[in-house]
Amino acid sequence: MSKLALLKIKTILTMKNSILVVAVMALFAFTSCKKNAADSVNETNVTAAADRDAKAGEYPVMQFEEKQYDFGELTQGTPVEHIFKFTNTGKSNLVIVDAKSSCGCTVPTYTDKPVAPGESGELLVKFNGSGKNQVSKTVTITANTEAGKETLLIKAFVNPKEGAAAGATK
C-alpha cells in the first residue's frame, strides 16, 4: 500500500473516532442532566390533590320536584308565576349564584342563602304573559353543583287580547 492510501485510511479512522467520541459525550451530557421526576413532586400538592379527589363526590345536588311547568292557556299580558321546589340531596351546602331566563318576559327569584344538605328551597318564576300562541321559556340556574348549571322550563299557550289578531309564536 502506498503512503497516500495509508494516510487516507488513518484520516478516516481519526474522523470516525472523533465522531464516536462526540456522540458518546453528547449521550453522557443528555443523560447526566436528567432529573428524576419523582424527586421533584411536592408532597403538599399530592396531599391537596388527594383531599380534592376525596371530596369530588361531595357536591350539592339540586333535586327538583319538577323541572318543567305548563301554565296552560292564558290571555296575553296576564302575569303568572310558579314556585319550583327543590331539595339539596348532596353532601355539601348548595349555593345558587345566579338564575337567568331566556328573555326579559320571565323573571326568576332565588335565595342567596346556602341550602344545607337535606334542606329544601324554592325558586319563584314570574312570566308576564307576553307573546302569542305556544310559548316556551327556559330558566338557567348557576350553582355550585357538579354540572354547574341546572335548567327549568315554563310553557304557556298565550291567547291574544280581545280585539288583537293572533300572530306568530314569539
**DSSP code of 33?**
T
Exposed/middle/buried for 86, CB within 10 Å: 0-12, 13-18, 19+? buried
CA-closest candidate to residue 94, choices 52, 38, 30, 150: 150
Mean pLDDT score, 30-42: 60
pLDDT per residue as tens digits for the range 39-67: 656 677 766 666 665 566 689 999 999 99
| Residues 157, 135 contacting (CB under 8 angstroms) | yes
Neighbours of 28 (CB within 10 A): 10
Q: Given this model, what pLDDT does residue 127 score?
A: 95
Q: Given this model, what pLDDT does residue 43 score?
A: 72
Q: Given this model, what pLDDT does residue 26 score?
A: 73
Amino acid at 133: N
* Spatial distance between the Cα atoms of 49 and 43, rounded to a whole number of angstroms: 10
Q: Given this model, what pLDDT does residue 36 score?
A: 59
Mean pLDDT score, 159-163: 85
Q: Given this model, what pLDDT does residue 72 score?
A: 96
CA-closest candidate to residue 108, choices 58, 55, 151, 169: 151
The whole-chain average pLDDT of the chain stands at 84
Q: Given this model, what pLDDT does residue 170 score?
A: 47
pLDDT per residue as tens digits for the range 86-134: 999 999 999 999 999 999 999 999 988 999 999 999 999 999 999 999 9
Which carries the bigger pLDDT value, residue 167 or residue 42? 42
Which carries the bigger pLDDT value, residue 93 or residue 19? 93
Q: Which residues contact 160 (CB under 8 A, 6 or more apart)?
A: 75, 76, 132, 166, 167
SS3 content of the chain, % helix, strand, coil (to 5): 30, 35, 35
| Residues 93, 138 contacting (CB under 8 angstroms) | no
| Residues 147, 59 contacting (CB under 8 angstroms) | no
Work out whether strand 149-159 and strand 68-75 pair parallel, antiparallel, or are unpaired.
Answer: parallel
Task: Supply 35's cell numbers.
Answer: 432529573
Amino acid at 104: G
> 57 in helix, strand or coil?
coil
Percent of the chain whose predicted confidence (pLDDT) is above 90:
57
